[in-house]
Chains A and B, each alone.
Chain A
Amino acid sequence: MLFDELKTVLISIGLPEEELTPETGREEAGLDSLAIAELALVLRRDGGLAVEEDEIHAAATLGEVAAAVRGGKVAAP
């Protein structure tokens, strides 16, 4: 997933747009465990992507989150 695509999803789940750069820390951006669960749900529901929440938890920055999502598999319908 490209960072800009991730950014669009993050904005849609209510994260503040002005703080979303690839270098922004995951927690600093507000991507806590509840928000990660929400992100995984939206990616699964709207993008058909199955992502491992543990991998997103392991990401330190939003750039790393995008990379983790990029490795996501297409979810079974």
Chain B
Amino acid sequence: MSGAEVCVTGIGLVTPAGDGREAGWERVCKGLPASTLEREGDALRLACRVPPFDPGRVGRARARKPDRCAQLALLAASEAVADAGLEPGRWDGARVAVVVGTGSGGAGTLEAEHRALLERGPAYVSPFAVPSSLANSVAAQLAIEFGASGPGLTVNTACASGATAVGTARDLLALDRCDIALVGGAEASLTPYYFAGFSQLGALSERFEDPTGALRPFDVDRDGFVMGEGAGILVLERPADARARRVRVRARIVGYGASSDAHHVVSPHPGGVGITAAVRAALADAGAGAADVAHVNAHGTGTRRGDSIEAAVLATLLPHRPPVTSTKGVTGHLLGAAGAVEAALTALTVERGLLPPTANLRRLGPGIDLDVVTECRPAAPALALSTSVGFGGHNAVLVVAVP
């Protein structure tokens, strides 16, 4: 499998940084955080929401009752497919795979229908409750919408889901299970249950007095992440197929590494053994050395422990100190979508020769010895890493290279 590379021929993004790939990229490069303060009764909360969109854009799929998570994925996938110059009506659907990473799937539907069950009774639960809330509903909606009748997969490695999906799709292409992969991540869990659950874990920033400054990756004053929603979808193809179609290639995925800490349900291993193993596996898979890494789009969620452990791992493995960015300072933490959105942003970084900044970083926290980018920086990284870490100890690392 080592050395199996795939081309990124299409990218679609619907994130709090913008509705659409270019709007999102522009805001990420400007370093303008999308976090806002919300009131729910007496409680305050911080959230990064996708800008309002016309539900009519979801089109005929509306009749299939897609949860918001699937709606965001449908919008992102439409942009990605168009970006790749593909026409779903004219492709061999049996050779098109769909791989989606999501943490909670149709959480909004699940919670709303559960309320209906408790408040009104079983006769008032929608017949769409189950098909719209199952985690696989996102991949199913994409398959139906685009006539993608090849393998359909849903992967869940919590906050690493999006990156695991991209790596899994790369493997499917390498194994000739498909010719085209629609792959990415989607999450829409800005719901009472997830706000409460993450808050009770102590994972969320409580900097209510400074909403845009709340998520501070690697900063000395970081106090947790801000939950976000969104979707990122990539179109992946084998190099020979992309060449045959004479399509523009934005970047290549040349390596993938995955591991589990096998340590704790939420805390990363204090020695960073899992993320270390994943980075090493990804570089070996790419046939690259540590010194080849010219940029890292880090997981960097702004939690005290997570950022410290990741920074220590990167400083140890990459002693030449390549520039590091956490785009979560702008987008918020998109949970199961984060790894795919960040893979897409890393692809745009190598394509465009611009390193996006890490928003809200004023002073590096103690022990963080990294070159963290704080202003949009011109550079030409030929090879970059995108790291992702998920609850349960899941780690996924992608190696992204210039075309």
- A residues contacting B by CB (< 8 A) are 13-16, 30, 34-35, 37-38, 41, 44-45
Contact = CB atoms under 8 A, between A and B. Distances in A.
Interface stretch (B57-65, B279-287, B318-326): B57-65
B124 A30 contact: no
Nearest to A11: B62
Nearest to A17: B56
A14 B62 contact: yes
14 contacts: A13-B65, A14-B65, A16-B60, A16-B63, A30-B60, A30-B63, A34-B128, A34-B131, A35-B63, A37-B127, A41-B124, A44-B124, A45-B120, A45-B124
A76 to B, nearest CB: 11
Interface in B205-222: none
Contacts of A13: 63, 65
Contacts of B244: none
Contacts of A15: 63
A41 B126 contact: yes
Interface in B277-336: none
Residue of A15, A37, A41 with highest tally of chain B CB at under 10 A: A41
A51 to B, nearest CB: 13
Contacts of B127: 34, 37-38, 41
Interface residues of B, number: 12
B201 interface: no
Contacts of B131: 34
B123 interface: yes
A15 to B, nearest CB: 5
Interface of B: 60, 62-65, 120, 123-124, 126-128, 131
A11 to B, nearest CB: 10
Contacts, number: 28
A26 to B, nearest CB: 13
Contacts of B62: 14
Contacts of A16: 60, 63
A8 to B, nearest CB: 15
Nearest to A15: B63
Residue of B64, B120, B128 with highest tally of chain A CB at under 10 A: B128
B131 to A, nearest CB: 8
B125 to A, nearest CB: 8
Given A16-B63, A30-B60, A45-B124, 15 more contacts: A13-B65, A14-B62, A14-B63, A15-B63, A16-B60, A34-B127, A34-B131, A37-B127, A38-B65, A38-B126, A38-B128, A41-B123, A41-B124, A41-B126, A44-B123
A62 to B, nearest CB: 14
A15 B62 CA distance: 7
B106 to A, nearest CB: 15
A13 B62 CA distance: 8
A13 B126 CA distance: 11
Nearest to B123: A44
The 10 closest A-B pairs by CB, nearest first: A37-B127, A14-B62, A14-B63, A30-B63, A34-B127, A15-B63, A38-B127, A45-B124, A41-B126, A16-B60
Contacts of A14: 62-65
A67 to B, nearest CB: 22
Nearest to A32: B63
A71 to B, nearest CB: 20
B68 to A, nearest CB: 14
Contacts of A35: 63
Nearest to B125: A41
Contacts of B60: 16, 30
